[in-house]
Amino acid sequence: MPLKAELTSADLTQIRQSALGAADPLGVAADLADAADTGRLADPADAGLALTLAAEIAESRAKLEAAATYVERALEAYGKRDDGQVAAARALRARILFRTGREDEALAELEPLRPALTQYPDAAAYISAALAVGGRNRIAEQWLSEAVQSVLADRGSAAEPTNPDDAGLLFFLLQQRHRVRHAVGLPHDTHDNLAERLESKLTTAGPAAATEAPDLVFWAQTEFDQLGEVSAQYGGTFDGHRAGLERELVRLTAAGGTDLALLPGVLANLKKVGDPAEAKTRVAYARQLSASSARISWPPERNAACWCGSGNKYKKCCLPRSRG
């Protein structure tokens, strides 16, 4: 289905949350690019954002040539801008370069983005996600550790933050560093302990936090089939995987959860699928990708295409699975 005749910034945010659940996500990507080309954006300055979103959608469907084209056009649209949106687009370009085997170019793209780690709260997620795709979690851990030390130094003698709001950008750095260190099997240190304390504060902060959905990773069938031993953590079979997600989403709704969505799993390196340690790293990467990739909105309308990408109507596909 074509997008609206004119797209606002709010529309682009909504599309980010729902595009991968559309019947034709690649069609959505093409329409986003067309909107940027034909002046269908309410704010012309959103052209870079629309094209970056198109690139994310294409990457999630392994259409890497299209993704590369979209992200190059996004960076052209941004021109001389230098902000968080531009940094996210450049990290996405690095991710695509890694996935097409151009590792040196990818690292050259990411190195200048290191200062963004101490400037933008979401930079920790999109930079570490890009490095994870290239199998560079050790570099991510080093960069994040240095950024944490820099932010702590800027705090000076201030007391240790007691909640995520007090920590500010430091919270996001600690969170991503903690996940990366876990992915590569490093032992806990004082910063990991602080990350866990702050995350615990966040999850117990009140009723809204208690009903907030965790990262629910959905693996499309082509990628689920490649998970090997790790698939046992996700239902064992593709049908079991979909049923488990549907039941959990229904449970979260009953508990008061709103704006629920699924995080699309993306395998970082298919040639290493047989290695359980590498599989765990890719699972961690899929969770890190949440800040920089379109999510699959839930639930769809009963007669709309199912969120799982089968092409069948939701009422005939995953809706009944919650009752199994």
- Give per-residue pLDDT as tens, 20-39: 666 678 898 999 999 999 99
Q: What pLDDT score does 290 carry?
A: 45
SS3 264: strand
Question: Would you say 111 and 144 are in contact if contact means Cβ atoms under 8 Å apart?
Answer: no
More confident position, 56 or 293: 56
SS3 303: coil
Is the pLDDT confidence value at 202 over 70?
A: no
Backbone dihedral angles phi then psi of residue 242, each to the nearest 5 degrees = -65, -40
Query: What is the share, in percent, of the chain residues with pLDDT greater than 90?
Result: 39
Cβ–Cβ contacts within 10 Å for residue 220, how many? 19
Q: What pLDDT score does 293 carry?
A: 56
Is the pLDDT confidence value at 173 over 60?
A: yes
Is the pLDDT confidence value at 268 over 60?
A: no
Taking the C-alpha atoms of residue 268 and residue 169, their distance in angstroms, rounded to an integer, is 26
One-letter amino acid identity for 322? S
Half-sphere exposure of residue 115: CA atoms within 13 angstroms, side-chain side:
3
Residue 11 pLDDT grade (very low, low, confident, very high; cuts 50, 70, 90) = confident
Q: What pLDDT score does 266 carry?
A: 62
Q: What pLDDT score does 16 carry?
A: 73
Average pLDDT for 53-64: 89
Angle at 164 between CA 158 and CA 168, to 5 degrees: 65
Q: What pLDDT score does 21 carry?
A: 60
